[in-house]
Chains A and B, each alone.
Chain A
Amino acid sequence: MPPILSIQHISKSYGPIQALKDISFDVPEGCVFGILGPNGSGKTTLLGIVLDVLLANTGSYSWFGGMENSSARKQIGALLETPNFYHYLSAFHNLEITAAIKQRGMDDRVRVLRQVGLFERRDSKFQTFSLGMKQRLAIGAALLGNPKILVLDEPTNGLDPAGIAEIRDLIRKLNKEGITIIIASHLLDEIEKVCTHVAILKTGRLLLHGPVDEALRSEDQIEVKAPDIERLQQTLQNMAGIKKMKLADGTLQLTCDTNIQPIQINEFCIGNGIVLSHLLMKKKSLETKFMELTNN
């Protein structure tokens, strides 16, 4: 299956500032692709280029294996940086323009307004909306006409916690329906909870990319606790396959070989007469990994 978006050697500079340096990666169909990076790492610039509003200095990209770009964009729902609407028009009339450009039916507007919880405010002018409502309208506009791809740049900006959870659920639901989602964020939590693939940018360079499991593979940690923590520590020192042990806040953190799973640890402890009160397999968090990657 050809990639749904292919990015080849894209570079871009704003005067003396190099915003993107030779970025190449593919976005496979049907995934939730997270573009991750600290502020100013080039996430929005990259999305702006593939959406044709910014010009790359070098490099190319293709949607749907080489479809003409403006036709491709009609099948993409996108939210770039800020919600962009005519301030003097109502939500409903703004979506009329979006639908007309996308060449979609006007009747879909009701569905998307209900989906983002703005149906009751459909006749209010955009300029009367709060930041969160503007963001919701922008997400609604992106959903118009059931796009094959959603491109969301910081989609949870300005949303309240309930709104953030709603968007996360929506992303999962749409992805299950087969829609490819490209999401840029500096909020690791947002990416970690929904993404299947990830690309990490830092000051315009692509640090790594690929499926989340592979790209962010790291040594897992196992946490254990027992009523007598010192005896547990002494006992586990004799177990093969444990590479590192650290006691922190009354919890033992073990770094093990890949063949050591919680079940082996439990068996070993019970065999030595210790009953564990806590046993947890902990994937190294994306945040930890991200910090490692981006802090040189």
Chain B
Amino acid sequence: MNALFAIEWLKIKRYRTFWVLACLFLLLLPLWNFEVASGLIKLGGGGKNGINFLSTAYSFPQVWGNLGFWGSIFIMFISILVIIITTNEYGFRTNRQNVIDGWSKMQFYHAKVILVIIFSFLSTIYLFALGIIFGGINSGSLSGLFNEFQQVAYFFLLSLDYLGFALFIALWIRKSGLAIGLFLLYSMIIENILKGIINHYTDMPFGNLLPLQASDELLPFPLMQMAKAMMPMISTISMTNYSVATICWCLIYYFAGRTILLRNDW
């Protein structure tokens, strides 16, 4: 596993696109949250004198769910990075060359899977560090740091879900432009259409269990949680079930990707 990642690292450490997208994620996520926390961005509307609903959500324990929600949007940068790194292999035909040089097809695949897991893990660590900083400053102390801490684990699951889905799309489509386009279309439009249709015709909101939506449900828009808490909901799906659904989707991506690679010519 170490050897696979070491070689994967050789491929990306001198790749400028990798550094640009990774740095955009690392810079923009705290900058955005800093502006929301300090009221420079007002999500309540109403111009300069408007109310900022979210500025109170940066102390413990709300900071985890709040940062997690924004992280779920900014993880797009890393998802696109995964697609680019993977489709590059097809563009350069280095997927073939890696195998010709002595990797098995599964080693090539697992190197990419390991990359997805490591990116997810590092993103989660980064979110955790940002949470300590924002939460510490706004709460004035670190007490209560571990309240609602499961939301950090949710973010790890969400990252795995997004990056795993991105890897699957890249292996399936092979062309970088088309893969990125399809990924964005699905995550922003197609899934919402499907969700709307399914939820309209079912008693339980089963549409929320779609691939990316399942993990989005783990970290909803912070105000939604408050709204949900106030409203008597008829039927909902528990966080445990969303977690299980997310893990199931990750396994499905893994096995579907494996099947695609083993059944096709390279």
Contacts and interface: CB of A to CB of B under 8 A. Distances in A.
Interface of A: 48, 51-55, 69-71, 73-74, 78, 80, 82, 84-89, 93, 96-98, 100-103, 141
Contact of A89 (B14, B93, B100, B264): B14
Given A54-B266, A84-B92, A93 B101 contact: no
19 contacts: A48-B265, A51-B99, A52-B99, A52-B105, A53-B96, A53-B99, A53-B100, A55-B263, A55-B265, A70-B103, A73-B100, A73-B102, A80-B96, A80-B97, A84-B92, A86-B94, A101-B101, A102-B102, A103-B102
A82 B104 CA distance: 20
A84 B107 contact: no
Interface of B: 3, 6-7, 10-11, 14-16, 88, 92-94, 96-105, 107, 263-266
Nearest to B13: A93
A88 B14 contact: yes
A141 B97 CA distance: 10
A180 to B, nearest CB: 17
Contacts of A96: 10
B180 to A, nearest CB: 18
Given A53-B265, A55-B265, A70 B97 contact: no
Contacts of B100: 51-53, 73, 78, 80
Nearest to A72: B102
Most chain B CB within 10 A, of A85, A100, A103, is at A100
A101 B6 contact: no
A53 B265 CA distance: 6
Contacts of B101: 73-74, 78, 98, 101-102, 141
Nearest to A52: B99
A51 B98 CA distance: 11
A80 B94 CA distance: 11
Contacts of A51: 99-100
A101 B98 CA distance: 7
A254 to B, nearest CB: 49
B110 to A, nearest CB: 13
B114 to A, nearest CB: 15
B94 A84 contact: yes
A44 B164 CA distance: 33
Contacts of B88: 86
Contacts of A52: 99-100, 104-105
B137 to A, nearest CB: 40
A85 B10 contact: no
Most chain A CB within 10 A, of B100, B105, B263, is at B100
Contacts of B3: 100
A133 to B, nearest CB: 16
Given A53-B265, A53-B266, A80-B100, A88 B10 contact: no
B11 A86 contact: yes
Contacts of B264: 55
B7 A97 contact: yes
A85 B100 CA distance: 12
Contact of A88 (B16, B98, B265, B266): B16
